[in-house]
Amino acid sequence: MTSSVEHRFVEVNGVTLHIAEQGRGPLVVLLHGFPECWYSWRHQFGPLAAAGYRVVAVDQRGYGRSEQPDDIGAYSVLHLAGDVIALIHALGEESAVVVGHDWGAPVAWTTALLRPDVVRGVAGLSVPPQPHGPAAPLPALRSLLGDGFYQLYFQEPGVADAELARDPATSFRRILFSGSGDSPQTDPPRPWVIPSGSTLLDTMAEPEELPGWFTEEDVDVFVREFSAHGDRAFTGGLNWYRNIDRNWELLAPFHGLRIEVPALYVGGDRDLVRAFPGVDRLLASLEETVPGLRRSVTLPGCGHWTQQERPEEVNAELLEFLSSLNA
């Protein structure tokens, strides 16, 4: 499935990033989320490359085979968007379509917001764009969901890091299954909230059997890709969460700016993100937030891992969107 994908390293903004690449043509950059890597896009390489696109999936900073800066502050959304722009140019291109899932979606949306001269189209999976609000996000989430909300649990350096790195195979298995449309925990979807005295993985049952879209072989690949960072395997990704309020501060100068480039949104109706406070309003106002929105798609029965759970539907939407940009 990914046998013709080529791997190499690219230096951007003083950080070495690992990329996986296939095909020739207009550039499409794929941005994964937490806790993932380039392999999350394994089902997209072949179809997009066959349709005439140069497909590049990157291990974003802190993930997989890419470099993991020590400074928590090095994982702000401006660093991440800067990596995308630098990567596009390092690949010898002037522009690209950027596609992001989970945390990769805010990076994609922000890059399109700030650099419409470079991003000629943007697609977000799972996470819709969130306009800059009047208050920092984490205190509001604490008041609504309590200290056990997983994004708050992730704030203390070293805690979730050690928990998830103790047995990476179990971590990947439980996190990916529990957030999927195949899990009882997403019927209906609800945010991950950890009871006092428990851990994130305590709230997720070990699946008796993995669904067809996610096999033990896939688990092995994720474990292998994260192995270079040892007991800090998840620290880079967790550091993204530790910049949530800082991102709000950094994006304050761009309050009121809207995403004008052509855009696509795809999400599942069993995605836990849909149960986050205010997301229903974000989805209802997408056309206002994103004037360039071409299409918003809801996949019935799909959970959080959009392009892995429903590759055929996602590929069809991406190809139609990409084709519309070339018309």
Catalytic residue positions, numbered: 102, 304
Is residue 56 within 8 Å of residue 20, measured between CB atoms?
yes
Q: Can you give 35-86 as a three-state secondary structure string?
A: CCCHHHHCCCHHHHHHCCCEEEEECCCCCCCCCCCCCHHHHCHHHHHHHHHH
Rounded CA separation 85/248 (Å)? 20
What are the residues whose beta carbons fall under 8 Å from the beta carbon of 120, sequence distance 6 or more? 95, 96, 97, 261, 262, 325
Packed helices 168-178 and 216-226: angle between N→C axes, nearest 10 degrees = 120
Is residue 112 within 8 Å of residue 136, measured between CB atoms?
no
118: three-class secondary structure by DSSP? coil
What are the residues whose beta carbons fall under 8 Å from the beta carbon of 103, sequence distance 6 or more? 32, 33, 34, 127, 237, 240
Name the E strands within 66-214.
96-101, 119-125
